[in-house]
Structure formats: structure tokens, C-alpha cells
Amino acid sequence: MVTVAEPTALMEEIVVHPPKRLLYGPGPGQVHPRVYQAMAQPIVGHLDAYFFEISTDIQRLLRTVFGTKNEMTFVISATGSGGMETAISNFVEQGTKVAVFANGFFCDRQTEMARRQGGEVVRFEKPWGEVFGDNEAAEFIRREKPQVVTYVQAETSAGAFQRGEAICKAAHEVGALVIADCVTSLGAMPVEVDKTGIDIAYSCSQKGLSCPPGLSPITVSPRAMEWLKARTTPNRSWYFDIKLISDYLIQSHRYHHTASATMFYALREGLALIEEEGLENRWERHHQAHLEFVKQIEGLGLEMLVAPEHRIWNLNTPKVPQGADDAKVRATLLKDNGIEIAGGFGPLAGKVFRVGLMGPLATTDSVNHFIECFGKALRGAGYKG
């Protein structure tokens, strides 16, 4: 008879001891203790009936969080960038005209991926932190008549939230598919795929869903699936071929890749926590934490980069005040308080802090603790406000 040691019997032998951090950055966000507990459970194989039971639960719960009835809602074994590559490689081929709404780093990544697939990219550009108005967005699409339109709903590099109804309406008028990056918004803000009219949306596990990085939720509309079925050229990416992945996870369960049972447990638990809290309650918790954060940031004399009506609730971008060394502020927070935040990059390098209030940290107590530590770090870095 074979005996197998239980995981708990090996705990005292663990040699990995990472430092404790409070993850107030743009991602990964703080992981709920129950998610860690789920990850400590014994793994099963990627073709085990229990694995597909977990996967089916994830699909059901993701439909709620995405705000969709799409059957083709599942997870890619990859980070959010893998979700982006999946969306673009399946729906952009040689000669496809792609219209990109470009107002941040991840719009630029969409552009690069589309070009690598042979797409003919046209861009509507705005400064990082600004968003596109309904009329100008619709005019751009009607003028260019693309086959695919991409935009970032919650641009992590700048903290700006882009509404998509006008984009989707105009895109559908010209027969285009719409790809939306919901990496930062899913689980913390309304994504509302069906209501907005998004055809393909992708996200990640480590931000609004409060899980570790490694999985990318994706949802594909029936309209987009019809387009994909009619595609005559093969996807240049075998690994990210939606037809193959959906066959594995939803249809025949034939082997495609070795998915991580541990990561699926984590996401299943993270989604269960959202279901228990109630999705709208979770949105409101993040919204209230954001409002409290802004109030206290302004109380310190700082300004926010993004206009109030366009701010992401769970990813805040206060401007670096005059006289403060942003790198020193971030280093002090990490050294003295174990708090991780991020700075700006690209055109926002040295100009903003990027502060996440996600999942367990989206509370008034967490905001109060952060502001207390942040204020001390600012003053220690030269801020006189």
C-alpha cells in the first residue's frame, strides 16, 4: 500500500520565507487568506474530473463578474498579457485593419501585438490619463471602418477608466469586433460586457479578483465566435488558439496543456469570495475606499492626475508633489512599512504614484493606514506640504 504524506506534515520543512508585504501597488494586489488556503490543497491532474468541476464553477462565476451570458467564458493559463495575446492573435490576421484607442502603455502593447499578427493599425491618440469622448470615438471608427477595434477599459499606467458603449455601438455599425482590456477593472468595477457591447474581453487573476498572477479570464461573444469559426487562416499561436483551449476546458476536455490545478483552486476561491460578498457590494466597497483615498490625498495637498468622473476606483494616480523625490517615497514605504506602491513610467515617469486599493485593502482602515505611512514618507522625501 502506498502512503502519501499530507501537505501539513511538511510545513515545518519549508525553506522559502518571503518578506511580508502590503501590496498597495497596481498589481499584484493583496491575496485573501482563504485563497492561500485553497492553494495549499492537494493538486489533481489537468484531466481529472475534479479539475473540470472547478473549471466549470469558474466559468459560471466569471460570467457574473464579467456581466455576460457568453458560453465561451473561461481562463487562459497565462498572465493578463497572455489574455491580450489570445484576444488579438485569434481575431487579427494578416491585413486586418485594427483601430486602437491609445491613451496609455497597455494600448501600446495592444498595438504591438496587432502589428506582429500582420494587422494594419490605425491609432486615435490622447495623452496618458485622458479618455475618449463618445462623439470623437464614434467619428474615428466611422471614418476608418476597421474590422477590429481595441481599447483599454481601465488603463493601469494612468488610472483612467474608459467607457465603451459609444465605441462598441460605432464598431458594430461598421461590422467590427471590439476587444476590451479589463485587466484592472474586473472584480472591482462594473465591466458589464453584454450591456456595453464588448465582443472579446480579457483580464487577469491578480488585481480586482485578489488572487496570485498566472491566469487570464476571457469571454468571447457568440458574434465573435462565428467570426472565428469562419476564419480561414490558422492562428499563428498554437498555445493561445481559442478553439483549442475552449475544446479542452468546455467541450471535449481533450488535452491541450497542463493547466495548474493550484491556480484554478485559487481563482475558484477568489470568485467564491466575490459571490458571497455580492458583486455590487464589492464594487461599492472599492468605490468608497477610492473616495476616501482621494479625500485624504487632497488633505495632504496632493492632486489627482485623472478627472474625477474618469478615475479607476481600485488604481489611483496622485501626482508627485513639487519638492518630493518619488523614488525615495516608495523606498521608504517599503523599508519602514512593508508597503509596496509603484511610480509612473513612460510620459508619467516621476510624475505620479500608482496606488492600488484592491480586494482586502479596499477598506477605510487600509486607506487610513496607508495615508499615515505615506504622509511620513512624503515629508521624509522633501515634501513641505
Q: What pLDDT, on the 0 to 100 scale, is given for residue 2?
A: 55
* 250 burial level (CB within 10 Å; 0-12, 13-18, 19+): middle
- Grid cell listed for 50: 475534479
With vertex at residue 28, the alpha carbon angle to CA 79 and CA 301, rounded to the nearest 5 degrees, is 135
Contact between 337 and 23 (Cβ < 8 Å): no
List, in sequence order, the alpha helices (H) in the chain.
Answer: 33-39, 49-66, 80-91, 105-116, 134-144, 165-173, 193-196, 222-230, 242-249, 261-277, 279-299, 326-332, 364-380
Is pLDDT of 180 > 90?
A: yes
Using pLDDT thresholds of 50, 70 and 90, give the confidence band for residue 14: confident
Distance, CA of 41 to CA of 49 (rounded, Å): 16
Identify whether 28 is preceded by a cis peptide bond (ω within 30 of 0): yes
Contact between 162 and 149 (Cβ < 8 Å): no
Encode pLDDT of 211-233 as tens digits: 999 999 999 999 999 999 999 99
Taking alpha carbons only, the member of 341, 319, 320 closest to residue 330 is 341
Residue in this structure with the C-alpha cell 487562416, named with its chain if needed: 233
DSSP 8-state secondary structure symbol assigned to residue 333: I
Residue in this structure with the C-alpha cell 477608466, named with its chain if needed: 161
Using pLDDT thresholds of 50, 70 and 90, give the confidence band for residue 384: confident
Is pLDDT of 244 > 60?
A: yes
Contact between 203 and 83 (Cβ < 8 Å): yes
Q: What pLDDT, on the 0 to 100 scale, is given for residue 13?
A: 80
Mean pLDDT of 10-37: 90
Is pLDDT of 345 > 90?
A: yes
What the chain holds in terms of domains, given with CATH numbers, is 33-274 (3.40.640.10), 278-380 (3.90.1150.10)
Mean pLDDT of 151-168: 98
Residue 382 has φ and ψ, to the nearest 5°, of: 105, 0
Q: What pLDDT, on the 0 to 100 scale, is given for residue 292?
A: 98
- In one letter, which amino acid is 284? E
Encode pLDDT of 323-344 as tens digits: 999 999 999 999 999 999 999 9
Q: Is pLDDT larger for residue 1 or for residue 356? A: 356
Distance, CA of 231 to CA of 222 (rounded, Å): 14
